Amino acid sequence: MAKKIAFINGKGGCGKTTSIFHIAGVLAASGDSVLVLDFDKQRNTTDTLLMNSEIPEKTVFDVMQGDFFERATSQALFQPIGHRNPRYFGVDCVASDIRLENEEELLKIDGSRFGERLNDFVNSNRYDWVLIDMPPSNRILNYICFGHVADYLIVPFSSDMFSVSGYGDIVETVERARELNPSLNTLGVYLARYMANCAVDRYIRDELLGFDTFIDIQIPLAADVREAVMFGRPISFYKAKSQSRTAYEQLVEEIKNRIS
């Protein structure tokens, strides 16, 4: 059965979209099939994953209103190391839509029915993973995703934006999500834009070590992470060896361990 993970944070710029992009790449490089749902109206995940692909005719918003998943989903094409032409490695993306900001229309969505249709689509295509890019703040989408879609939550945390006091806001968001779906599991919080030579980042890490939900794997704020996104190539398809690639591979391994 596919593992469905929502990436959440109360504010933008925390490395959420970048994490999904590179984690999807790590999973694909290991032979797993991945479906990415882009619920963020900014479409950053859609535009990055489908940089080398055709943008689908429909979007996740259309699917939520009853359209077919197939018409809103496109294959992500990545350029492997040492090769020129992008190829398909088992990552698909359901495109986002600016209309996701329309909460009046979202209130009309039958979240339970959408979740059932998603499960049918995931099972028929035999995806191993579903990664969900959540917007910084959308109460109705949170209800739909946490109540009817996601099995797990994970929180990318950016110490260049938040002090330790901001951690409480994230915990509160997670607790509200569990009220909607008691079986929802929290995988943890990790530092997604980490600078080892920055005293603030080191301080934040030391403070977070006291929390049970903290994943002590830091994703470096490095040039190759940004370059790989710019070229539409996850780090696993961009660099044969790098500290960034190793960090994402370790994070994926820890996610698998926590799910197990």
* Contact between residue 4 and residue 150 where contact means Cβ atoms under 8 Å apart: yes
Residue 12 pLDDT grade (very low, low, confident, very high; cuts 50, 70, 90):
low
| Phi then psi dihedrals of residue 96, to 5 deg | -85, 180
As a whole number of angstroms, the distance between CA 216 and CA 3 comes to 22
Helix, strand, coil in percent for the chain, rounding step 5: 45, 15, 40
**pLDDT for 71:** 97
Helices and strands (H, E) in the chain, number of each type: 10, 7
Percentage of the chain beyond pLDDT 70 is 94
- Whether 137 shows a pLDDT value over 80: the answer reads no
As a whole number of angstroms, the distance between CA 31 and CA 16 comes to 23
**pLDDT for 159:** 73
Which structure tokens are listed for 74?
Answer: 């496109």
What's this model's pTM, rounded to 2 decimal places? 0.93
* Sequence-ordered strand ranges (E) for 101-245: 129-133, 152-157, 185-191
Which structure tokens are listed for 101?
Answer: 């900001």
Torsion over CA: 36, 40, 42, 44 (sign):
negative
**pLDDT for 88:** 96
**pLDDT for 131:** 98
User: Residue 130 forms beta bridges with which residues?
Assistant: 4, 35
For residue 14, give the nearest of 48, 44, 49, 50 by alpha carbon. 44
> Mind listing the pLDDT tens digit for each residue in 54-103?
999 999 999 999 999 999 999 999 988 777 789 999 999 999 999 999 98
For residue 174, give the nearest of 140, 204, 142 by alpha carbon. 142
pLDDT mean across residues, the chain: 90
**pLDDT for 30:** 95
**pLDDT for 162:** 59
CATH architecture of 3-259: 3-Layer(aba) Sandwich (3.40)
User: Following DSSP, what letter does each residue of 143-181 receive, concatenated?
Assistant: HHHHHHT-SEEEEEE-TTT--GGGHHHHHHHHHHHHHH-
As a whole number of angstroms, the distance between CA 67 and CA 81 comes to 37
Torsion over CA: 160, 150, 125, 112 (sign):
negative
> Mind listing the pLDDT tens digit for each residue in 144-194?
998 899 999 998 988 765 556 666 776 777 777 788 888 888 899 999 989
* Contact between residue 203 and residue 160 where contact means Cβ atoms under 8 Å apart: no
As a whole number of angstroms, the distance between CA 179 and CA 177 comes to 5
**pLDDT for 150:** 95
Angle between helices 223-230 and 16-29 (to 10 degrees): 80
Residue 204 pLDDT grade (very low, low, confident, very high; cuts 50, 70, 90):
confident
